[in-house]
Amino acid sequence: MRSGGPWAIVMLLLMAPAAALGQQAQPAQVEQAEQYRINSGDELEIYVWGEERLQRNVKVLPDGTIAFPLVGQIVAQGMLPRELETAISSRLQGQYRGEVPQVTVSVVAPSGMQFSVMGRVRSPGTFTPGRYVTVLEALSMAGGPNEFANLDNVLVIRKEGERVRAFRLRLGAVFRGGSNLDESGALASIATIQPGDTVIVP
201 touches 117 (CB < 8 A): yes
The more confidently predicted of residues 50 and 6 is 50
Q: pLDDT grade, residue 192 (50/70/90)?
A: confident
CATH code of the domain containing 83: 3.30.1950.10
Assigned domain for 30 exists: no
pLDDT higher than 60, residue 8: no
Q: What residues contact 183, with CB distance under 8 A and at least 6 apart?
A: 170, 173
Which pLDDT score, from 0 to 100, does residue 174 have?
A: 76
Which pLDDT score, from 0 to 100, does residue 142 have?
A: 96
Q: Are residues 54 and 95 in the same domain?
A: yes
% of residues, the chain, pLDDT over 90:
50
Q: Per DSSP, what are the bridge partners of residue 73? A: 67
Q: What residues contact 104, with CB distance under 8 A and at least 6 apart?
A: 46, 47, 49, 85
Domain range enclosing 91? 43-109
Q: pLDDT grade, residue 178 (50/70/90)?
A: low
- Tell me the one-letter amino acid at 128: T
Assigned domain for 27 exists: no
The more confidently predicted of residues 40 and 5 is 40
Number of domains in the chain: 2
Which pLDDT score, from 0 to 100, does residue 175 have?
A: 75
Q: What does the pLDDT average to over 186-192?
A: 57
Weakest-pLDDT range from 11-20, 103-112, 141-150: 11-20
